[in-house]
Amino acid sequence: MFEEWREGVFTVSTDPARFDLDVIHAFLTCSYWSEGITRALVARSIEHSLCFGLHEGARQIGFARVVTDRAVIAFLADVFVLEPYRGRGLGKFLMGCVMAHPDLQTISKFRLGTRDAHRLYRRFGFTALEDPATHMERMRPELRRI
């Protein structure tokens, strides 16, 4: 079962049949967090995540991806709204849909990483890590472009 939300002419849908891989890949391959990522890796990441496509009619204009067990933990990734559509509140609309998804209502640990969108995410309750001394990560940037 797929979820769908509407706001005027804009729709957010979790239906993978509506995702435009060309649009998603084109944006991500130029983003600071996945520069040069291959189309195959983008496709695989979508296949194994809960994804949200933002559309104007049939045209995809934004995207968000949640890596989750749909029970207790989630990581928000790859959130974007195409440049010509920014400044219209569509990032807030997209994030509102992500946070409203029924499968994410029991998530007690919801993480994300951002360099420049703190203000947007704070609106939805995200804060700096409560205790960064207790969290670790393993980074392998050489694998991002496979």
pLDDT digits (tens, 9 = 90+) for 71-129: 999 999 999 999 999 999 999 999 999 999 999 999 999 999 999 999 999 999 999 98
| Per-residue pLDDT, 142 | 76
| Per-residue pLDDT, 125 | 95
Q: Are 76 and 111 in contact (CB under 8 A)?
A: yes
The Cα 90–Cα 52 span in angstroms is: 13
Q: What are phi and psi of 6, to 5 degrees?
A: -125, 145
Residues of the chain above pLDDT 90, percent: 86
Please give the domain boundaries of the chain with CATH numbers for all domains: 4-143 (3.40.630.30)
Q: In what order do the strands lie in the sheet with 50-56?
A: 4-7, 10-13, 50-56, 59-68, 73-81, 109-112
pTM above 0.85, yes or no: yes
| Per-residue pLDDT, 145 | 57
| Per-residue pLDDT, 1 | 86
**134-143 own/partner pairs: CB under 8 Å, 24+ apart:** none
